Amino acid sequence: MQLSHHKWDVQVGDLSSLAPFPLLMSRPSWQVLARLAERLTVETLAVERALFARPDLYSQIALPRPLHRLFAQHAATAAAARVMRFDFHYTPDGWRISEVNSDVPGGFTEATNFARLVATLVPGTSPPGDPTHALVESLANIAGDRGVVALMNAPGHMEDHQVVAHLAAALRRRGLQAHLISPHHLRWKDGHAQVETAWCAGQVDAIVRFYQAEWLARLPRRHWSPLFVGGQTPVANPGIAALTESKRLPLVWDALGTAVPTWRQLLPETRPIEAVPWRSDGGWLIKSAYSNTGDTVSIREAMSKTAWARRVWSARLRPSQWVAQRRFTISPIAHLGGVLRPCIGVYTVDGKCAGAYARLARGPVVDFSACDAALLICDEA
pLDDT in tens, 180-224: 999 999 999 999 999 988 777 789 999 999 999 999 999 988 889
Q: What is the pLDDT of residues 6-30, one digit of tens each?
A: 999 888 777 788 999 999 999 999 9
Whether omega before 237 lies within 30 degrees of 0, making that bond cis, reads yes
For the segment 159-185, the average pLDDT, to the nearest whole number, is 95
Q: What is the pLDDT of residues 111-128, one digit of tens each?
A: 999 999 999 999 999 999
Q: Is the pLDDT of residue 381 over 70?
A: no
Report how far residue 109's alpha carbon sits from residue 66's, in angstroms, rounded to the nearest whole number.
Answer: 33
DSSP string, 324-359: EEE--PPPPEEETTEEEEEEEEEEEETTEEEEEEEE
**DSSP 3-state of 181:** strand
Quote the pLDDT of residue 362.
83
State phi, psi for 143 to the nearest 5 degrees: -85, -20
Contact indicator for 286, 298 with CB cutoff of 8 Å:
yes
Q: Which residues contact 272 (CB under 8 A, 6 or more apart)?
A: 251, 319, 323, 324
- DSSP letter (8 states) at residue 177: E
Report how far residue 4's alpha carbon sits from residue 285's, in angstroms, rounded to the nearest whole number.
Answer: 39
Q: Which amino acid is at 104?
A: V
Report how far residue 307's alpha carbon sits from residue 346's, in angstroms, rounded to the nearest whole number.
Answer: 31
Report how far residue 68's alpha carbon sits from residue 181's, in angstroms, rounded to the nearest whole number.
Answer: 26
Q: Is the pLDDT of residue 132 over 70?
A: yes
User: Is the whole-model pTM more than 0.85?
Assistant: yes
Q: What is the pLDDT of residues 331-362, one digit of tens each?
A: 999 887 788 999 999 999 999 999 999 999 88
Which residues sit opposite 375 in a β-bridge? 23
* Alpha helical stretches, state H, the chain: 27-52, 66-73, 108-109, 115-119, 131-143, 158-173, 213-216, 221-228, 242-245, 253-256, 261-266, 305-317
Q: What is the pLDDT of residues 71-102, one digit of tens each?
A: 988 899 999 999 999 999 999 999 999 999 99
Task: Tell which residue, 174, 323, 149, has the closest CA to residue 252.
Answer: 323
Quote the pLDDT of residue 342.
95
For the segment 124-144, the average pLDDT, to the nearest whole number, is 97
State phi, psi for 66 to the nearest 5 degrees: -60, -15
Report how far residue 271's alpha carbon sits from residue 63's, in angstroms, rounded to the nearest whole number.
Answer: 17
Mean pLDDT of the chain: 94
Helices 221-228 and 66-73 cross at an angle (nearest 10°) of 50
Contact indicator for 7, 1 with CB cutoff of 8 Å:
yes
Task: Tell which residue, 376, 377, 356, 295, has the closest CA to residue 89.
Answer: 356
Report how far residue 286's alpha carbon sits from residue 300's, in angstroms, rounded to the nearest whole number.
Answer: 9
Is the pLDDT higher at 221 or at 149? 149
Q: Is the pLDDT of residue 267 over 80?
A: yes
